[in-house]
Amino acid sequence: MGWDLIPPIHLLTSYIRGHFTHSSFTPDIFQLFHFRHLLSGVAVHSTTMAKDMTLLWGSGSPPCWRVMIALEEKNLQGYNQKLLSFEKGEHKSKEVMDMNPRGQLPALKCGTNVLNESLAACLYLESQYKSQGNKLIPDCPAEQAMMYQRMFEGLTFSQKMADVIYYTYKVPEGERHDSAVKRNTEALTTEIKLWEGYLQKVNLNHVSSNEGPLDRKLKIVFSA
């Protein structure tokens, strides 16, 4: 997915810290927003020069980070990339609109195939380069089920977060209501508590050479 405007992650975390103070809201939730690079020690297999790939991306965009992490995990190097400015409206330029009529980022072109949804791009890269780099989809049915469940649950979390953070940006002043703000805030608070329960069962604090594909995939999903 791609949002029209996504502020830097530290602004998101600062905003949430200032608006959610209940005791169950611990710093663990911020693990969801940390950018995870592929670190040394993780097994890799080979490297492919991805010169036929083009990625249009924007700074501060978790969906863009998600695709970039997937490209790194699959050891796809040398792809064409272009950093665009949300503030200057470059995500609405003809270059982007030709690839994504919604004018959103990221936009990934692989040969003649275009993928504008970040999750779709991650799944496509894993499907096309299964034997390349790190395996992102586990074979174990239980782990695979959890991976897909959390992947798409993340979209719900992102939407509820956006409903709070972007309320004053997207809703005209005359149409804003305190009741809507309260309702959106309560919905996000409930969602955060749910994810905190998930995080208690998953260790995202370090990357080790023994981590499995589910651990790596969770980090890609949680970057959004």
Whether residue 57 has pLDDT greater than 90:
yes
Q: Phi and psi of 28, rounded to 5°?
A: -55, -30
Predicted TM-score (pTM) of this structure: 0.69
**CB-CB contact of 154 with 222 (8 Å):** yes
pLDDT computed for residue 204 by the predictor:
53
Taking the alpha carbons of 62, 205, 17, 26 in that order, is the dihedral positive or negative?
positive
What's the pLDDT band for 70 if we cut at 50, 70, 90? very high
pLDDT, average across residues 3-20: 41
pLDDT in tens, 22-39: 333 333 333 333 333 333
pLDDT computed for residue 38 by the predictor:
32
Taking the alpha carbons of 145, 150, 156, 158 in that order, is the dihedral positive or negative?
negative
Of 108, 46, 32, the closest CA to residue 77 belongs to 46
Residues 6+ away with beta carbon under 8 Å from 162? 3
Whether residue 93 has pLDDT greater than 60:
yes
Report the C-alpha gap between 91 and 172 in whole angstroms: 22
pLDDT in tens, 173-216: 999 999 999 999 999 999 999 999 998 887 655 444 445 554 55
Of 120, 128, 113, the closest CA to residue 74 belongs to 128
Report the C-alpha gap between 223 and 121 in whole angstroms: 14
Per mean pLDDT, which range of 15-24, 73-82, 142-151, 213-222 is the poorest?
15-24
pLDDT computed for residue 199 by the predictor:
86
Report the C-alpha gap between 143 and 215 in whole angstroms: 10
**CB-CB contact of 106 with 56 (8 Å):** yes
Whether residue 4 has pLDDT greater than 70:
no
Q: Phi and psi of 16, rounded to 5°?
A: -65, -40
Whether residue 49 has pLDDT greater than 80:
no
pLDDT in tens, 135-177: 999 999 999 999 999 999 999 999 999 999 999 889 999 999 9
